């Protein structure tokens, strides 16, 4: 599939507005009841980088000392600020602050994935954007240890969507893992990528 056809297909599989009614989250993947609690709005940018060999997904490795999701692989993003006009503004601002990806390189907002509630009390709007190189990244050393790209083709392959479990509050709790080379994409980021892959390939959206 060429880049143009894939871009069209990606647009069609996403929500066209950030006012998304579908809420999934760590609880849904784990097979647990959703916890009713105050949630902090947040947004992440799902950057799809157009490379000659195919699209890639730009991800970050968070530093080990952060209060939330320390050391995890994640999308650039964070909590919404009062001055943000909406989730798109939050995602673009955070991408600029965290990795120095200027919004001029995000040539199009393709759409939005399902809202995602994290176990840490955030409700996240995943904003999918097409990114055109060349660009140079400048990492916020306090928050980001590294930025790297994963081929979208790899992400879309269901053979790479592993489910594992841990005991949490005395119950087995499932979560997704996407192993890539020497890295493990897991938790909320992996679940959002699995949701994206299922939407794009037309497979069931159930956990």
Residues 6 or more apart whose CB falls under 8 angstroms from that of 18 comprise 86, 87, 88, 112, 125, 127
pLDDT of residue 38 exceeding 70, the answer is yes
Virtual torsion, Cα 9, 3, 139, 161, nearest 10 deg: 50
Taking residues 180-186, report their average pLDDT.
94
CATH superfamily name and code, 3-24+36-158:
Nucleoside Triphosphate Pyrophosphohydrolase (3.90.79.10)
* Backbone φ and ψ of 134, nearest 5°: -85, 150
More confident of the two residues 18 and 203: 18
pLDDT 10s digits, 119-176: 889 999 999 999 999 999 999 989 899 999 999 999 999 999 999 987 766 677 899 9
Q: Which tokens in the block code for residue 49?
A: 């980088």
pLDDT of residue 203 exceeding 90, the answer is no
Q: Where are the beta strands (DSSP E) in 70-168?
A: 73-74, 77-79, 106-112, 115-117, 122-131, 144-151, 162-168
pLDDT 10s digits, 63-99: 876 665 557 899 999 999 999 999 999 999 999 999 9
Residue 23 confidence class, pLDDT cut points 50, 70, 90: very high
pLDDT of residue 45 exceeding 60, the answer is yes
Taking residues 14-35, report their average pLDDT.
91
Compute the distance between CA of residue 50 and CA of residue 96 in angstroms, rounded to an integer.
18
Query: Is the sign of the CA dihedral 125, 106, 86, 203 positive or negative?
Result: negative
Query: Is the sign of the CA dihedral 172, 175, 179, 182 positive or negative?
Result: negative
Compute the distance between CA of residue 127 and CA of residue 18 in angstroms, rounded to an integer.
8
More confident of the two residues 38 and 171: 38
Max CA-CA distance within the chain? 49
Residue 207 confidence class, pLDDT cut points 50, 70, 90: very low
Q: What is the pLDDT of residue 72?
A: 86
pLDDT of residue 206 exceeding 60, the answer is no
Asked whether 146 and 58 are in contact (CB, 8 A), the reply is no
Taking residues 108-118, report their average pLDDT.
97
């Amino acid at each position: 599939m060429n880049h143009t056809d894939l871009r069209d297909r990606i647009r069609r599989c996403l929500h066209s507005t950030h006012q998304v009614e579908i809420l999934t989250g760590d609880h849904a993947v784990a097979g647990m009841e959703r916890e009713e609690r105050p949630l902090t709005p947040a947004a992440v940018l799902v950057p799809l980088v157009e490379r000659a060999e195919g699209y890639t997904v730009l991800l970050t490795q968070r530093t080990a000392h952060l209060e939330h999701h320390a050391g995890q692989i994640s999308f650039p993003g964070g909590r919404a600020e009062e001055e943000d006009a909406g989730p798109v503004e939050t995602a673009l601002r955070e991408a600029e602050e965290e990795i120095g990806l200027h919004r001029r390189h995000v040539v199009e907002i393709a759409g939005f994935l399902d809202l995602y509630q994290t176990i840490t009390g955030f409700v996240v709007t995943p904003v999918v954007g097409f990114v055109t190189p060349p660009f140079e990244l400048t990492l916020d050393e306090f928050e980001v240890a590294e930025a790297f790209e994963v081929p979208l083709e790899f992400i879309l392959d269901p053979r790479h969507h592993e489910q594992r479990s841990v005991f949490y509050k005395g119950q087995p709790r499932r979560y997704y893992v996407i192993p890539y080379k020497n890295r493990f994409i897991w938790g909320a980021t992996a679940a959002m990528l699995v949701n994206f892959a299922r939407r794009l390939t037309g497979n069931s959206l159930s956990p």
